[in-house]
């Protein structure tokens, strides 16, 4: 018998976020938190954010690259929600003081032109529904100490979502080879990590198809205008006050951001 409920887990995670504090894994206190229940926590957490005035603007994938999976010790991709409160306009300093222990990771980002509803979505049909492709940063800020979590923990925590940057005006997907699109991640001018789009499920459109199919299994479609973060290409690096983090893409452009 447990006194943990979906509602209690949501309250715990939201209060950690509001108080800028991390804490132990929910699954240590609630071993019965399985993956379907964790997605129920994630959806209930989204509802609380929407009730407080935030708008749903898209979906993100997490743990889509080997680099991220190896670092986190979890080999299953996941999905989570993006709201307007997480948008960090390009060029805006990352408000480190408002966060717990933020890390940044470079991502290939899609803005959707058409509705995409699984099951049966392929990478080709997914890519055809994309309006534009952008360089992006995700700033993750796990509500768990040292980013130590199991898959249900991180799913419940909306996949460590905190802030994200969508850069540039975007390019049409047609004409880009996103598997070969390279990204150099730099800290204070020194390149520390590199990857190509193939790091993300073989092709970022495979990640988009995966999101459409897994959301489809829950009766949810990806809507026109939604932003889709396809997952960290490389490991994430800590954001610190005064530290400049750059992501230089072959065709999508270069993004820079600095911790404040």
Q: How far is the CB of 140 from ligand 0L1 (least distance, A)?
A: 4
Site track for ligand 0L1 across 45-64, x = CB under 6 A: -----------------xxx
CA-closest candidate to residue 59, choices 217, 179, 220: 220
DSSP per-residue string spanning 96-112: GGGSSS-EEEEEEEEEE
User: What are φ and ψ of residue 60, in 5° steps?
Assistant: -125, 155
Which residue reads 């980002």 in tokens?
Answer: 109
Nearest Cα neighbor of 27 from 149, 158, 161 is 149
Residue 136 binds ligand 0L1 (CB under 6 A): no
Nearest distance, CB of residue 132 and ligand 0L1, angstroms: 20
Q: How many CB atoms lie within 10 A of CB 1?
A: 3
Residue identified by tokens 């938190």 is 33
Among 25, 49, 68, 193, which residue sits at the site for ligand 0L1 (rule: CB under 6 A)? 68
Residue whose CB is less far from ligand 0L1, 118 or 231: 231
**One of 27, 79, 158, 160 touching ligand 0L1 (CB under 6 A):** 160
Q: Which of 159, 185, 209, 257 binds ligand 0L1 (CB under 6 A)?
A: 159
Shortest-Cβ-distance residue relative to Mg ion: 138
| 147 contributes a contact to ligand 0L1 by CB under 6 A | yes
151 binds ligand 0L1, rule: CB under 6 A: no
Other residues' Cβ atoms within 10 Å of the Cβ of residue 75? 10
**What's the Cα-to-Cα distance from 207 to each of 17, 194, 217, rounded to whole Å?**
27, 19, 15
Partners of 48 in the β-ladder: none
207 phi/psi in degrees, rounded to 5: -65, -40
Based on CB atoms, which residue is closest to Mg ion, 204 or 232? 232
In the list 88, 123, 130, 154, the residue contacting ligand 0L1 (rule: CB under 6 A) is 154
Among residues 118, 232, 233, 239, the one that binds Mg ion under rule CB under 5 A: 232
Among 105, 153, 181, 206, binds ligand 0L1 (CB under 6 A): 105
Count of C-beta atoms within a 10 Å radius of residue 97: 9
The single residue listed with the structure tokens 């990806």 is: 222
Residue placing its CB nearer to Mg ion in the complex, 30 or 255: 255
Nearest-Å Rg of the Cα atoms of the chain is: 17
Closest CA to 157 of 28, 29, 46: 46
Region of 30-38, 82-90, 229-237, 240-248 interacting with Mg ion (CB under 5 A)? 229-237
| From Mg ion, ligand 0L1, none, interface partner of 160 (C-beta below 5 to 8 A by class) | ligand 0L1
Task: Examine residue 138 and tell whether it contacts Mg ion (CB under 5 A).
Answer: yes
Among 135, 170, 204, 232, binds ligand 0L1 (CB under 6 A): 232
Structure tokens at 236: 């994430």
Which residue ranges make up the site for ligand 0L1 (CB under 6 A)?
Answer: 62-64, 68, 72, 105, 138, 140, 142, 147, 154, 159-160, 231-232
């Amino acid at each position: 018998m447990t006194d943990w409920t979906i509602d209690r887990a949501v309250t715990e995670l939201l209060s950690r976020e509001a108080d800028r504090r991390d804490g132990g894994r929910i699954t240590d206190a609630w071993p019965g938190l399985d993956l379907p229940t964790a997605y129920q926590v994630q959806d209930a957490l989204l509802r609380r954010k929407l009730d407080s005035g935030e708008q749903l603007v898209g979906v993100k994938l997490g743990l889509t690259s080997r680099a991220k999976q190896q670092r986190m010790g979890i080999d299953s991709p996941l999905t989570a929600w993006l709201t307007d409160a997480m948008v960090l306009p390009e060029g805006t300093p990352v408000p480190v003081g408002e966060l717990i222990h933020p890390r940044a990771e470079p991502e290939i980002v899609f803005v959707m032109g058409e509705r995409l509803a699984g099951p049966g979505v392929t990478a080709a049909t997914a890519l055809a529904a994309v309006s534009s492709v952008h360089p992006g940063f995700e700033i993750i800020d796990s509500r768990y100490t040292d980013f130590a979590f199991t898959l249900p923990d991180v799913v419940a925590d909306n996949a460590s979502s905190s802030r994200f940057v969508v850069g540039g005006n975007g390019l049409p997907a047609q004409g880009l080879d996103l598997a070969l699109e390279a990204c150099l991640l730099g800290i204070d001018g020194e390149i520390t990590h590199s990857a190509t789009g193939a790091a993300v499920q073989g092709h970022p459109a495979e990640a988009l198809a995966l999101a459409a199919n897994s959301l489809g299994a829950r009766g949810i479609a990806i809507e026109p205008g939604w932003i889709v973060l396809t997952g960290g290409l490389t490991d994430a690096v800590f954001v610190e006050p005064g530290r400049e983090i750059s992501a230089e893409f072959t065709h999508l452009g270069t993004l820079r951001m600095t911790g404040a």
